[in-house]
Amino acid sequence: MKKKLKRISDIIFYIFLGFCSVLIIISLHAHLNNRPPSLFGFSFAVVPTNSMEPTIKANGSIIFHSISYEELVFKINESNTNNLPIIVFRSNNKNVVHRVVEVTDTGIITKGDNNQTVDTDLVTSDNLIGIVISIHNNFTITGIFANYLNLIFLVISLSLTYVMIKQIIIVVYNFNNKNQTNKIDKELELTKLELERLKLENEIKELKKKSFDD
């Protein structure tokens, strides 16, 4: 029973270890690519400007999902022209959240709802990040979470890294300790066998001596 519980505990630990590794990789990948961290394709972000008012207020938060360029074009063609999707894309080394205006042969034209002119950069498969699926203009937990998402991922990653290192040290220590214990047990067993052998030899000598005396 004890061995079974330990086996279950080890399985849970390795699953946790794998989950930690995934979170760390996600965080590092997002940081290196200057993009919001995402989990299963979903990401959070805060829109700091008023370019999308009144749809998205300044400092309002959004939830968006990754989407391929081809899927987005198909969705735009299927959408009502009065309610085209809002997308997230990279422009001038920044993440931009604007609405689709038109699809051309060279890319997608976008514009902020509160802007007078369209964006200068076209959206292509190279700079498309995702499509907005939820908007939160009120001061909500979602907004707070989105605003500090990078910091939260960093803290979680560092915490999990610490836990992983600690657990690895414990596992290595226990493994070495177990090997040392096994080594000592073997030495004790050999010593015991040696004592028994010497005892048996003494008994044989005593028997021979007694037989000789007789």
Could you tell me the strand order of the sheet in which 128-136 lies? Answer: 38-39, 42-47, 60-65, 128-136, 86-91, 94-103, 108-111
Q: Is this model's pTM higher than 0.75 or not?
A: no
- Phi then psi dihedrals of residue 86, to 5 deg: -100, 135
Provide block-wise average pLDDT over 10 residues at a time, the chain (214 residues).
64 70 67 67 84 91 92 89 90 92 94 95 94 81 55 64 71 67 70 74 67 56
Nearest alpha-carbon partner for 97 in 107, 88, 109, 85: 88
Q: Which residues of 140-155 are buried (b: 16+ CB within 10 A; e: fewer)?
A: eebbeebbebeebbee
Domain segments of the chain as ranges: 34-147, 164-213
Taking domain 34-147, whether its CATH number is 2.10.109.10 is answered by yes
